Amino acid sequence: MSSQDTSDHPAPHRSSLSNIFNALGLSKTGGESLPPCWQAHEIKFDTSSSNLNLRPGEHALITFNNIEDTKGNNGTIGRLTVTELRIIWVSSAFLISNLSIGHSTITSIKTTSTLSKLRGKTTATHITALFEGTKFEFIFTDTDSSRILLPTPSTITTPLLEKICSIWKTYTTSPYTHTLLTTPPPLLQSLLPPTLVPLPNEIPYETHHQIHSLAKQKGTPGTLFITNIRLVWCASGTGYKTVNDVPGISIPWIQMTSVRTQPTSYGPALTLQTSPYSKSYLLGFRIDPPERFKSLSRAVKKLWRTHYEKPVWAFNSNTPVTTTTPTNAEEEGNGGVVERDEESDAEEESGRGEGWKAYSTGVASESKVEVIYDPWIGLAVQKGPNIRSLVGQCIGQAHVPVQ
């Protein structure tokens, strides 16, 4: 890397990428494609143990035993685990009976009065979710009498509800760690060149200017910021009235499924493919001169593979926190998630068998889609917040999926 690309960083962040590679133990770029991270974005019912097992970088933040799935398996207790990405419930009696509820699918969490076969009329945790156009609800009852209800000024809560809400709120309020964002990145205003404002747990690695985004049949110059959480690109220039007018994009490492170098009509480009949960966009960047292109492309590939497997979350620590003791050391090694026999795995791999019907509350109503013309990208797009800057980064056959 050229030393001039990092001269604007404060002293704590002046480490070159080569030093970072050494610290992370990196020596090879690895494969150029990785599977999408689905755990936060899907709901799976009665799925295989391979889907229940925690993905690399996912931890069991909290675990409760003796939790009844009152909605779908009233009278059956199991273990409920909450991770950075999802809620997992596994029946203690029948391991084929299980749930995986991604945090991104959840729409509300509250207490509700319910009738449990094990505890009679009681207060339970009520979760509503939306997935693939279908609304679902889940009711979990804590059958452990030692965990008492917690009165508050306005309602009655439970330890289970408090822990789930705390983790879910952290997830939803920190989208920069797991979601592709088209809002302009936080910048230190009135600074030329611009400087990225680090977010919680974020460590800037390097800043590169004159990185061209391939859009609108031309290359748009901008600045590329590389951190331990994401890549951020924003357009350069002084023709914008405020920082909010600057086109930009923030791409977490975990939302990239491939990082490649390939030829384009503008010459060799670094291309980033986002996951289906980020609309499967193809983003292209031209980097000059060739020596800089080669070194920066190699660096991005290495960092992507490392931080995909060891993502940085918005939590204070990646150390798992368990409130109940697993029944044996073998289960504890998997974060409290129970493994099933291989024979059971073949029964339900997709996670959308007949079990989902017990939790379905109907089909979500279709909202009216308003299509507008976006002059920045020269296309008709679905109206929405900050729709402008996303497709402006696309190369090849740029389009906006309108749902």
Give the N- to C-terminal CA distance of the chain in Å, as an integer.
42
Q: 306 is written with which tokens?
A: 């490392």
Contacts of 193 (CB under 8 A, 6+ apart): 8, 207, 209, 223, 236
248 and 192 within one domain = yes
Residues 1-41 pLDDT 10s:
433 343 333 333 334 444 443 443 333 333 478 999 999 99
Q: Is residue 374 part of a domain?
A: no
pLDDT at position 157: 66
Residues 233-291 pLDDT 10s:
988 765 554 455 567 889 999 999 999 998 888 889 999 999 999 888 888 999 999 99
Contacts of 78 (CB under 8 A, 6+ apart): 67, 68, 69, 89, 90, 91, 92, 93, 97, 98
19 and 9 within one domain = yes
Q: How many CA atoms lie within 13 A of 325 on its CB side?
A: 3
How distant, in Å, are the alpha carbons of 85, 117, 197, 215 from that of 98? 16, 19, 41, 45
pLDDT at position 357: 87
303 and 184 within one domain = yes
233 closest CA partner among 254, 220, 252, 248: 248
Q: Is residue 19 part of a domain?
A: yes
144 and 99 within one domain = yes
Q: Which amino acid is at 179?
A: T
Q: Is the pLDDT of residue 190 over 60?
A: no
Q: Is residue 393 part of a domain?
A: no
Q: Is residue 384 part of a domain?
A: no
Q: Among 105-109, 147-151, 376-380, where is mean pLDDT lowest?
A: 376-380
The pLDDT of 305-328, averaged and rounded, is 65
Q: Is the pLDDT of residue 224 over 50?
A: yes
Q: Domain range holding 254? A: 3-30+178-312
168 and 98 within one domain = yes
296 and 198 within one domain = yes
pLDDT at position 154: 52
219 and 118 within one domain = no
87 and 130 within one domain = yes
The pLDDT of 132-155, averaged and rounded, is 79
Q: 307 is written with which tokens?
A: 């931080």
Q: Is residue 145 part of a domain?
A: yes
Question: How many domains are there within the chain?
Answer: 2
The pLDDT of 53-76, averaged and rounded, is 94
281 and 219 within one domain = yes
Q: Is residue 321 part of a domain?
A: yes
Q: Is residue 234 part of a domain?
A: yes
Task: Find which of 2-6, 164-168, 368-372 is predicted with most confidence, using mean pLDDT.
Answer: 164-168
194 and 167 within one domain = no
What sign has the CA pseudo-torsion 325, 330, 331, 332?
positive
200 and 306 within one domain = yes
CATH number, domain of 47, equals: 2.30.29.30
Q: Is residue 386 part of a domain?
A: no
Q: Among 205-214, 238-247, 335-344, where is mean pLDDT lowest?
A: 335-344
Q: 10 is written with which tokens?
A: 């404060």
Q: Is the pLDDT of residue 398 over 90?
A: no
Contacts of 137 (CB under 8 A, 6+ apart): 71, 126, 127, 128, 129, 359, 361
49 and 166 within one domain = yes
| 376 class by beta-carbon count within 10 Å (0-12 exposed, 13-18 middle, 19+ buried) | middle
- From 312, 343, 371, give the residue that closes a domain: 312
